[in-house]
Amino acid sequence: MATLEKIRNRAGILIAVVIGLALFAFILQDVVSSGGSLFDRAQMEVAEVAGSSISYELFQARIDENENLQKLFSQQISLDEQTQLQIRERVWQDILRSNIMEPEYKKLGIEIHENELFDMVQGNYIHPIIQQQFSDPQTGMVNKEYIGMIIKNLDNDPRARAYWMYIEQEVIKDRMFTKYLNLVRKGLYVTSLQSKRSVADRTTMVNFDYAVAPYSSISDSTIKITNGDLKDYYSAHQNDYKQQASRDVEYVIFPIKASDEDIKATEEWINNAKAEFITSTEPKQYVSLKSDSPFDAKYYNASELKEFGTWALSTSVGDVMGPIFDGNSYKLARLLDIKMMPDSVKARHILIAPKGQTQQDYAAAKSTADSLLSVLKKGGNWTAIANQYSDDPGSKEKGGDLGWYPSGVMESTFDEASFNNKKGDIKLVETRYGFHILEVTERGKETKKAQLAIIERKVVPSSHTTQAIYAKAAEFAGVNKTYEKFNSYANANSLTKRIANNLLQNDRNIAGLESPRELIRWAFRAEKGDISTVFEFGDMYVVAALTQIREEGIAPLEQVTDDVKIKAIKEKKAAILAEKAKSAMKSNDINEVARTLNITVARAEKVSFSSYTLPSAGIEPNVIGTASASVEGKLVGPVKGNNGVYVLAIVSSTKEDGDVTSEQFRLNNMYQSRAYYEAYEALKTNANIVDKRYNFY
């Protein structure tokens, strides 16, 4: 029974332990998964502003919203890279401003009442944004009726609603910041004492003699600098070494160039195509199907046709020239036509643009254009019709007159009609803008011109060549895993090595590389000495080495040792020269001091406290300040300047006229104008912004 009791007790303990372990495992799993989600959230943080985390999801959602608005307003299906970058930066600045300013608005009780918003939009105090968007270009007056119509129809027009909500938010943001700024400006005031001091600083002029013992008179090699000297100077001047996060990289390029085999293959292709080109009954279509460049229907004179010019104007229609090689491509040319044509024409037009993107919109525009064409051909008043119907704002008020223009500046179909139509012909031309009723009113002097069908075959690297170059780059990156190997291999094999220093987190450009953003992002994820994988930028492969890392804040001493050493040496020189100057200043004659120190005396005239430079000496604020505060007839110094140690003798001082009231007004305006920028910049500094956009873009 005792044994049985022991088993029962131990079983109870075992069950308790098992249950405890199971519970612990369950809790641990929850903690781990929670920790993982926390870690994921940290990874998805695009910035931290004033203690608030800005998630990638929020940032990207705002970007998407702005891109959609841009597409909506511009009626574009897609946006180019430059526009996307501008939108991304605009969203970033907007998020910064809202996170920095909204807590300030809340603390100060700054807000916008609905009546105030109405007044800025439709009332008596129209906001500048509304004025810019809804003013009549002729009168400059805001069309309040049009604004009211837009607001009434917001529920019926999603595009107008999106546009209006965007404008309204911009008005509110601008007004809130203006209120905050006005509070700051009201707190800025220039006292009469400040004004008097400023006038004195600007109008009190001193004339003085000075002798300077230059730092260069002592050789650097004679100055002994210890580690303690470096640490002491660094500790005393740490604020001089504040820095942004930046990186230095060295990189080797592997140009993706066509090989001799590629050139030979291209030459064979063009030679094989020549026979077909000569016998083709549709040379224009043949060019469109075979050439690397599209068919150009324009007529050119001899100088414009370059290598084909002399031949084209002296041969027969149907003749073929080539192939010729220009270093980048092989070309075949076939003469299609010769015409006498002007270099420029004068014309007028009436544009009827579709009101939308549907087939019905295009059909309606075409119908209107056909009707107007018929009226004009029967003698209708061109000027009156252009003023009433044309959708080209640049020419409608001039009766549709386009003036003189050369070939090639207009849309291709418009250009072709302009130069092929006779003077006085009225025809309908379609372009991407709509339907144009076109009349050529004058034709310039005509010259002989040729139309060519040109087959161009560009010499480009084949896939085999590209793969061989990539393999070479990949081998280089794989074998040279350290910077020492990277550097020595590149030098030994005469590889082109380039340097990109002081790259910032959100930089997007490196001279000589096409869209190198991925290289910059890699540099901020890598460790010093790391070697990258192979990047492809345009027509080259790149392998990079990270050579320097600078973190934001105070640069460590080892990173700025060279600069610290130079300045520490300069300080020791200043101390030595100052002692020599003190000894020489036992005489109260500056000329005697100069002879003792073996230096010369110079004269500075009309120097005020507000002066920036010392004549013949450069930027010397310590010298200027000391001279301005010194009295006549007394030897002053030694003064440690930027270029050396100075001894001064004040010769005389004069005071020019100055108006305290005007100076007070000037200073007040200066402070008011600085407030706009500096108030926000001060808040930005206090917000401790941590920018992590480089992890995502």
Q: Which string of b and e fits 473-507 if b means at least 16 CB within 10 Å?
A: beebbeebeebeebbeebeeeebeeeebeebebbb
Say what the pLDDT of residue 476 is.
96
Calpha distance 331→326 (Å, rounded): 8
Cβ contacts of 176 within 8 Å, gap of 6 or more: 101, 105, 110, 111, 112
Of the pLDDT bands very low, low, confident and very high (cuts 50, 70, 90), residue 30 is: very low
The tokens of 194 are what?
């400040």
Burial class (CB in 10 A: 0-12, 13-18, 19+), 3: exposed
Give the whole-angstrom CA distance, residue 268 versus residue 257. Answer: 19
Give yes or no for residue 491 having a pLDDT over 80. yes
Q: What is the 3-state secondary structure (H, E, C) of 386-433?
A: HHHHCCCCCCHHHCCEEEEEECCCCCHHHHHHHHHCCCCCEEEEEECC
For 646, the 3-state DSSP assignment is strand
Determine the average pLDDT of the residues in 123-145.
82
> What is the per-residue pLDDT across 62-108, written as a single tens digit (0 to 9) for each?
999 888 888 877 778 888 888 999 999 999 999 999 999 999 999 99
**What is the architecture, at CATH level 2, of domain 344-444?**
Roll (3.10)
Handedness of CA 354, 358, 364, 367 (dihedral sign): positive
Q: pLDDT tens for residues 357-387? A: 788 889 999 999 999 999 999 999 999 999 9
What number does CATH give the domain 203-219+560-655? 3.10.50
What SS3 state is found at 647?
strand
pLDDT band at 615 (very low <50, low <70, confident <90, very high): confident
Report pLDDT for 382. Answer: 93
How many other C-beta atoms lie within 10 A of the C-beta of residue 172?
16
Q: Please indicate whether residue 35 or residue 159 has the higher confidence score (pLDDT).
A: 159
Across the chain, mean pLDDT equals 88
pLDDT at position 501: 95
Residue 6 has pLDDT above 80, yes or no: no
Nearest to 351 by CA among 406, 403, 404, 388: 388
| pLDDT one-digit tens code per residue, 396-447 | 889 999 999 998 889 989 998 999 899 999 999 999 999 999 999 999 999 9
pLDDT per residue as tens digits for the range 338-364:
999 999 999 999 999 998 878 888 999
Which tokens in the block code for residue 538?
A: 């345009």
CATH says 245-257+462-551 is which class?
alpha beta
SS3 content of the chain, % helix, strand, coil (to 5): 50, 20, 25
Model pLDDT, residue 496: 84
Q: What pLDDT, on the 0 to 100 scale, is given for residue 42?
A: 67
Confidence of residue 680 (pLDDT cuts 50, 70, 90): very high
> According to the model, what pLDDT value does residue 40 have?
56
Q: 430: which 2 tokens?
A: 């379609």
